[in-house]
Amino acid sequence: MRVVVVSKQPLWRDALCALVAAQLPTDTVLAVEDIAEVNALVPRDDDLILLDPPAEGDPGDWVERNADRLAAGRLALLAPHKNIRWARIAYAHGFRALLPKDMAADMMLAVLRLVIVGGEYFPCFEELGAIPDPVPGHGPRLSPRQLEVLRELERGRTNKEIAQQLGIAIATVKLHVQAILSATGARNRTEVVSRLASGNSNGIS
């Protein structure tokens, strides 16, 4: 699997490439400035392509102008912050995630691991009650809270520890864990963490 980071901001692009190379199960991490360079690489369906729109202009408008230029790969939009309009546009064009650039690094990694195994993440949808109809071929969708619980599972924490860390009831943690298992098709929490760590999408649709 290759990860391609598309950004005209060299400091951000290099930092994200270094983070991905160190933490994700990828063979290759490539940094390019423009979508045209991605197409020159001949994108594959299993590529993870992280698109950072130019700082000037509207990210949603940029997606509408450029998304059709990519014929393959799992797309994730890097956005300045959460925005329901941008999320809806990205989702409609087949993107698998919207990642606010102010998101903590460990949360961003958790999202990318989910996308690698076929899932998706659009934090605005659940928070604003604006969940769109599923797009064919898209995988499990987790809420922001479920993603937080998943991150704690990756750290090996028990339900009690997760409840204390997130300030929620143990019963609520159990519900979130069950939702994660259901969404990913995993049999238990160990299998969820193992699949995400290895990038194995077997059994996740």
If one compares 49 and 84, the residue with the highest pLDDT of the two is 49
- Based on the domain organization, do 73 and 154 belong to the same domain? no
Confidence of residue 126 (pLDDT cuts 50, 70, 90): low
- The per-residue pLDDT for 204 is 42
For 7, other C-beta atoms within 10 Å of its C-beta total 22
- The per-residue pLDDT for 191 is 84
- Based on the domain organization, do 124 and 27 belong to the same domain? yes
Phi, psi of 46 (to 5 degrees): -90, 5
Q: Which of 141, 162, 194 is where one domain is finished?
A: 141
- Based on the domain organization, do 11 and 45 belong to the same domain? yes
Among 66, 101, 68, which residue's Cα sits nearest to residue 83? 101
Question: Could you tell me what percent of the chain has a pLDDT over 90?
Answer: 31
Structure confidence by residue, pLDDT tens digits, 33-77 = 998 898 888 888 889 999 999 988 899 999 999 888 887 889 999
- Based on the domain organization, do 40 and 16 belong to the same domain? yes
For 198, other C-beta atoms within 10 Å of its C-beta total 13
- Based on the domain organization, do 57 and 77 belong to the same domain? yes
- Based on the domain organization, do 57 and 131 belong to the same domain? yes
Give the pair of three-digit tokens for residue 137. 């071929």
- Based on the domain organization, do 79 and 160 belong to the same domain? no
- Based on the domain organization, do 87 and 176 belong to the same domain? no
Confidence of residue 136 (pLDDT cuts 50, 70, 90): low
Whether pLDDT at 135 is above 60: no
Whether pLDDT at 203 is above 50: no
**Number of structural domains in the chain:** 2
Q: Are 45 and 59 in contact (CB under 8 A)?
A: no
Strands in 28-32's sheet, in edge-to-edge order, are 28-32, 2-6, 48-51, 74-79, 97-100
Residue 199's CATH number: 1.10.10.10
Q: Which domain holds residue 120?
A: 2-141
Q: Which of 104, 120, 141 is where one domain is finished?
A: 141
- Based on the domain organization, do 93 and 133 belong to the same domain? yes
Q: Which of 107, 141, 175 is where one domain is finished?
A: 141
Average pLDDT, the chain: 83
pTM given for the model: 0.71
- Based on the domain organization, do 19 and 108 belong to the same domain? yes
